[in-house]
Amino acid sequence: MSQVTVVGLGPMGSKMAETFLAAGHEVAVWNRTASKAEPLLAKGARRANTAADGDLLVVSQISYQAMYDSLGDARLDGKVVVNLSSDTPGELRRAAEWVAGRGGTLITGGIMVPPPAIGLPMAYTFYSGPEDVVDQHRGTLEALSKVTYVGPDQGLAMMFYQAQLLIFWSSLTSHMHAMAMLRTAGVSPLEFAPFAQESFTQLGGDGPMGFVKSLAEEFAAGVYPGELNSLHMQAVGIGHAVEALAEAGVETTVPEALKRLFERADAEGRGHEGLGTVIESIRKP
């Protein structure tokens, strides 16, 4: 077993520290509000003297600025900082230089489950940075989740993380719009739930509704067949959906934005192509 210092004891950091302890690792904990460490100290953790106390620092904070503030002027010679906080890919690349300037190595990560799922088989985390360093600490990090290495560029882990969150937020928000609209007609959200579940399942599958895979293939090839399902038809359809939401008295900001995006792609002369052609308008705002 190894020694690890967890920096940041919000819901995610506290759960990570608990999980490391349960896996038999020696755990030190540090938080800017020191009292948050008390429950973990009672479970066997050690209070770190500083945020830089230890050779493997696992950081879970609100942003990378919090890491800068917590570590301050501390030297990081020979230390590995695994930061699982959220920020922009560019900030992660700058942070790698910041850590290296203090003698350490930064591994960046994006953990793809909420705190209750830490340590469960479903959990996985995107990691980027020097692969040999990730491999060196893989056994320790696997106590939290599956280690999914995506490349040496420290910004990549956050790009993968935020790509998944864009799908998560937009998909679930569209589900909320759907439930809200149906509720105005007296339809229970629980009555509609099986149909929404089926849509999410089929979109990720391999059949005719497997748009996750087919859109990726079309984007890779740069060809968007629209003979059976043109973008122009989709643009008209989303216009009707927005009108239905407005008619039901439901908020329409996000659906309106989708409508404008579809209409722009159509106006750019690609209405005869398939839905996937919208990505060309996304790429060139």
Sign of CA dihedral 261, 266, 270, 271: positive
142 in the same domain as 265: no
- Total of domains in the chain: 2
pLDDT tens digits, residue range 118-153? Answer: 999 999 999 999 999 999 999 999 999 999 999 999
For residue 61, what pLDDT band results from cuts at 50, 70 and 90?
very high
pLDDT tens digits, residue range 146-171? Answer: 999 999 999 999 999 999 999 999 99
216 in the same domain as 119: no
| Domain containing residue 111: CATH number | 3.40.50.720
Domain that holds residue 184: 161-283
Task: Classify 46 as helix, strand or coil.
Answer: strand
145 in the same domain as 7: yes
Entry pTM:
0.93
| Domain containing residue 220: CATH number | 1.10.1040.10
